[in-house]
């Protein structure tokens, strides 16, 4: 997890928006808990912090593209605004 503040509202909003574009079922796991990448509440309850190792799994016709898109959001620290 590249986001310095962990999995908080801003990256969660980006994740849900991106994941919702796919038909596949996308799950993100951390510390024995799993959440739908399409549910902001479930993602927030994961409690993932900066540097956390997350597992991304997807099932469906566009699973590969879904994993790539979600991974990119999690691995890319957004630019700071002044």
* Active site residues per annotation: 8
Please name the residue that has the structure tokens 């986001």.
3
Please name the residue that has the structure tokens 């997350």.
54
Provide CB contacts within 8 A for 52, sequence distance 6+.
1, 6, 7, 30, 31
Report the number of secondary-structure helices (H) and strands (E) in the chain: 3, 3
């Amino acid at each position: 997890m590249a986001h310095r503040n962990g999995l908080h509202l801003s990256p969660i909003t980006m994740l849900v928006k991106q994941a919702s574009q796919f038909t596949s079922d996308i799950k993100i796991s951390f510390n024995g808990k799993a959440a739908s990448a399409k549910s902001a509440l479930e993602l927030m309850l994961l409690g993932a912090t900066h540097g956390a190792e997350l597992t991304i799994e997807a099932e469906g016709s566009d699973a590969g593209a879904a994993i790539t898109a979600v991974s990119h959001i999690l691995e890319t620290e957004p630019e700071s605004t002044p």
